[in-house]
Structure 1
Amino acid sequence: MADGVSFDFSQIDSLATALDATAPVSRRNIRAALNTTSLKIKRTWQGKAQGSPTLGGIARAINYDITSESSPQAPISSEIGIEVGKAQGSLGFISEYGSPTSPPKGYGLASLNENEADFQRGIEIAIDQALNGLGS
């Protein structure tokens, strides 16, 4: 380098190699955290929706699906919502977003917000477990 100054990046290179090695473990743990929180959001939303005297069937139409490909770089996602094809599912959007004659309930968004901290905690645990595996 200029002026005879050199840097030793060997420790950073070792860390990068070790982090690459944790990818399968961290991916599996992150998927598990996402699945756990998605289930909690679904159940929270169902609990809120079950009390409806006219749209009680909506609770059974709430579901979630986790999508992840086998590639380590592929995204992992969760879709939580009302299945339109299930009983009263097509009316679920009225419950959530309202109509000209019915105010929105917002149970889905409220359920998501209530479980946000749990998701953060799950991701932190997933990463910690993967990083702790480096010392093994």
Structure 2
Amino acid sequence: MTVIVTGARETAAALMRSIALMERNTTTAVAVTAGKIKRSAAQRISGHAHLPAYPATITYDVKRGAAGPEAEIGPDKGRSQGPLGNLIEYGSRNNAPIPHLGPALEEHADDLVRGVEIAVWQALK
């Protein structure tokens, strides 16, 4: 029996293009969702009399990790009221928590899943 494989180089080249496109598109999906989470968290915590500067401290960074794109979303500790993030989100024995980051993440989790699905489908076309 003889097996002849044709088009292996072309298939490999197409897969390499798909991988590059998938990486670019999934990074975009993560960045778009991170922006939505940031805005939602800032909106949820806005209007508290003792935290006027805190909403503006919420930022996000997207980078490519070993497993793919990842985002870090939360208060910038270098900004006014930024170091209060953990205390605000989780509370303490003297302060009730004001969850805003966790609920914002939950609100947009499905958006991220959908964005990654779209990225994969576009790359495999």
Residues 47-90 of structure 1 deviation map (CA, whole Å, 9 limit, x = unaligned): 01112111121101100001127xxx763211001111101111
SS of the aligned residue for 2:111 comes to: helix
The letter for the 2-side match of 1:91 is L
SS of the aligned residue for 1:115 comes to: helix
Q: Quick check: 18-27 or 95-104, which moved more?
A: 18-27
The letter for the 2-side match of 1:62 is I
Q: Who is 2:78 aligned against?
A: 85
Is residue 106 of structure 2 the alignment partner of residue 113 of structure 1? yes
Q: Who is 2:120 aligned against?
A: 127
> Contact conserved, 1:35 with 1:66, CA < 8 A, in 2?
yes
The letter for the 2-side match of 1:38 is A
Q: Who is 1:68 aligned against?
A: 64
Is residue 54 of structure 2 the alignment partner of residue 58 of structure 1? yes
Q: Who is 1:28 aligned against?
A: 24
Aligned length: 123
**Structure 1 position 19, deviation (Å):** 3.0
> Contact conserved, 2:54 with 2:81, CA < 8 A, in 1?
yes
SS of the aligned residue for 1:79 comes to: strand
Which has the higher Rg, Structure 1 or Structure 2?
Answer: 1
Structure 1: gaps spanning 5 or more residues: none
Q: Quick check: 90-99 or 26-35, which moved more?
A: 90-99
Cα distance in 1 for residues equivalent to 2:38 and 2:31 = 10
Cα distance in 2 for residues equivalent to 1:110 and 1:78 = 16
CA distance 1:115–1:74, shift in 2 (3 Å): closer
Q: Quick check: 31-40 or 91-100, which moved more?
A: 91-100
Cα distance in 2 for residues equivalent to 1:56 and 1:110 = 20
SS of the aligned residue for 2:95 comes to: coil
Identity of aligned residues (%): 33
Cα distance in 2 for residues equivalent to 1:47 and 1:87 = 17
Structure 2: gaps spanning 5 or more residues: none
Residues 4-34 of structure 1 deviation map (CA, whole Å, 9 limit, x = unaligned): 9x9x7x69x78x7343331111110000000
